[in-house]
Structure 1
């Protein structure tokens, strides 16, 4: 395998790690929002509407920010980018692999300590949790579809000389 092909594979893996890290950060932030809503006493019926909307808005804003601010400048040879960010890959890998389990642990701890003390119908809680995770899934799918359409249009408008 040539050095250029190894670099291409590393960049593909880096892309997956980068997206996983961004998703883990958003997952953590949205859980913090959910925790704060519960502590403020917001009903699960209201959260069933607001949390998926906030999730979608955060995913859209993050995607727009990244599209406009990510630097794609690198020494290149055709499609091969030669300047590989090793430190960023390691840091994002740590975030990607550590933050999601940490968030899940905090969510379990929060539910155990605070949700059990609230006077509520557990059906509302379970309904909310369904909508909570639907918000993540729908947001991710819509972002991927939007990015695909955006870059297909960009590809058609690009002139290859």
Structure 2
């Protein structure tokens, strides 16, 4: 269980921490100092480096989470464990949508130097990452505050 918990938390730190950094630090600076062509090119490159880590984190979080859930009683697990599972799966689905839809559009737009389409794709990614970051922080709160409620 200790190894599963460590790997689970490691995946969460990489994913949620990366979203927090990108959304709260990189995004406002990039928006204030870079013109759209450079900003969109930067984001396409950043996501190209970050998203493989997110895929690895998603797999790690899902596998270790299910392993720990089975070890503590499966569906008889606590309500907060079930809440974590539901929130995590919603986050994973949102990420998959980001990766296969707006991120694909962003890469194509940058390659074609279509800055208007790239801006629209980036705006959609920004909104969805904001939602996922909020869900990730909520999930972390459920982990620590939920234990005190049961």
TM-score greater than 0.5 by the shorter chain:
no
Smaller-chain TM-score bracket: 0.3 to 0.5
Bigger-Rg structure (1/2): 1
TM-score calculated relative to the size of structure 2: 0.34
TM-score calculated relative to the size of structure 1: 0.32
**Greater share of residues in helix:** 2
